[in-house]
Chains A and B, each alone.
Chain A
Amino acid sequence: MRRLEGKRAVVTGGGSGIGRASAIRFAREGAAVLVAGRAANTNETVEVIRADGGIASSMITDASKEENVAAIVERCVNELGGLEVFFANIGVTGTNTPLLEQTVEEWEEVYRINTISCFLAIKYAGRHMTAKRYGSIILTSSAASLRANAGAISYSASKAAVNNLAQTAANAFAGTGVRVNAVLPGLVETQLTRKVFEDARARGIEGKLGHVTPLKRPGRAEEIAAAAAFLARDDSSYVDGQLLSVDGGVSSTHPYGRIALPS
């Protein structure tokens, strides 16, 4: 299981959800992990890792700001001795305000946190990794990046930009040995989607969650972490510029449950 032995990894948004599960998973596979997050629960992730015998450090910071991302990379290199994996994983959902009433301020906020944070990860992790000619940068996108109606509009658009960034950055890093890929989760219970799950529980329809996916259930954060770990490892050494859907099949199908086929 220690397939990330010797690797140094940054996970942003590491206080909860997919970020926490991934930080724990990376550490369990042998990586030393710098867990970055805005809230105090970032420290709890580090405590879980240490209690498990893993190596981790905590950094309370907003990874959507340029100087902070520069500092994250610097600290990882100085404290953990290098940087081979950067998982850029912070995000916000945006609001479901009607499209015609949305504001530039909301869009700028969503883009800064979801998209520009990925650019900054690529810029600062990329500077270190291209110099070392080795590294894997993983961006959290979403099934909502591919089609409408799986999230707020600003969220979907910001994640579509993340997809393109994975491709354009992979191309920009041609010949450097640095890979850039995106992971596209479907519906997973995290801080971002908690309200969806709580509402469904309150209405007694939790079993309906994920019913349009072929696997007929929501995903677990650990299942996204497993895919992120795959992209972090040399197991994916020939995978570059790709969008990896981990969504129970929802992006590969039409919503067949709702379509009446002629018999």
Chain B
Amino acid sequence: MSDRLKDRVCVVTGAARGIGLAIAERFGREGGRLAAVDVSARRLEPPVEGLNAKGLEARGYAVDVGRREDVHAMFARVEAEFAAPVGALVNNAVWARFQPLAELDPETAERMFAVGVQGLFWTMQAAAPQMERRGGGSIVNLSSVSAYHPAKDSVAYSALKAGVVGLTRAAAMELSPKRIRVNVVCPGMIGTPASIAQFDEATIETRQAEMPLGRFGAPEEIASIAAFLASDEASYMQGAVIVADGGWTVPAR
């Protein structure tokens, strides 16, 4: 393909499936050395084996990104095992439930924000010194069009994803002097098995008809954006938001 990420140690969270796995594979094909992170060791093992079988260098790290000490320990391990500091970080892991406001409970809210917002604090906090030591790096965060255009029952999810945009921009300011770029991707409806399973066929057809491109996106179409942002091609992009929703949120309706 190309070698835009050649020899770069790339940490991808939520890498066991869906968009995260597509990102890991794309980064690997562009020459990246992959630290694939997921909360579940059992879930992580087959895809890491799959990446290795494709000739890509990948190691699995079963870590809950919501736990600060575990995240810091993992980044130290990654640097030791790859014998190089981390150069790229993709924050893709999320844990989400969609509930009406009236039914939202503290356990759900805490878990969602521990993984989807605080998790990003800890990974960025641990990655930044390593990136600084190698002369810079790139962080790509995954938000959602829900940050701007809430879906049904998404009080917590919309807040979470709006938070990701805010923390991305603040981190971009703070980490600029260390030559670390931080940008954010907002996918729309992406056709992963988990997202497709939420809808019946009629709903899927209605949704697709609402989109100028007329279809759900593929995980690979988010991975190609993440690879661009992680690479030096995006060297003047800082605190930027890339929406990838097939034009879904462009028209007013």
Contact = CB atoms under 8 A, between A and B. Distances in A.
Contact of B169 (A224, A241, A253): A253
B83 interface: no
A170 B250 contact: yes
Interface centre among B187, B225, B227 (most CB of A within 10 A): B225
A199 to B, nearest CB: 22
B225 A239 contact: yes
A249 B172 contact: yes
Interface stretch (A42-50, A59-67, A84-92, A229-237): A229-237
B128 to A, nearest CB: 14
Given A235-B227, A235-B228, A238-B217, A249 B173 contact: yes
A234 B240 CA distance: 20
Contacts of B12: none
Interface string B149-176: 0000000000000000000010011001
Q: How large is the interface on A (under 10, 10 to 19, 20 to 34, 35 or more residues)?
A: 35 or more
Contacts of A214: 172-173, 176, 238-239
B64 to A, nearest CB: 30
B176 A226 contact: no
Contacts, number: 127
Q: Which of B222, B227, B238, B241 has the most chain A CB atoms closer than 10 A to its own CB? A: B238
A104 to B, nearest CB: 31
Nearest to A214: B176
A40 interface: no
Interface of A: 1, 3, 167, 170-171, 173-175, 177, 179, 186, 213-216, 219-220, 223-224, 226-227, 229-230, 234-242, 244-249, 251-253, 256
19 contacts: A171-B212, A175-B212, A179-B247, A186-B236, A213-B238, A216-B177, A223-B236, A224-B236, A226-B233, A227-B236, A235-B224, A235-B225, A235-B228, A237-B221, A237-B224, A238-B188, A239-B242, A246-B240, A249-B172
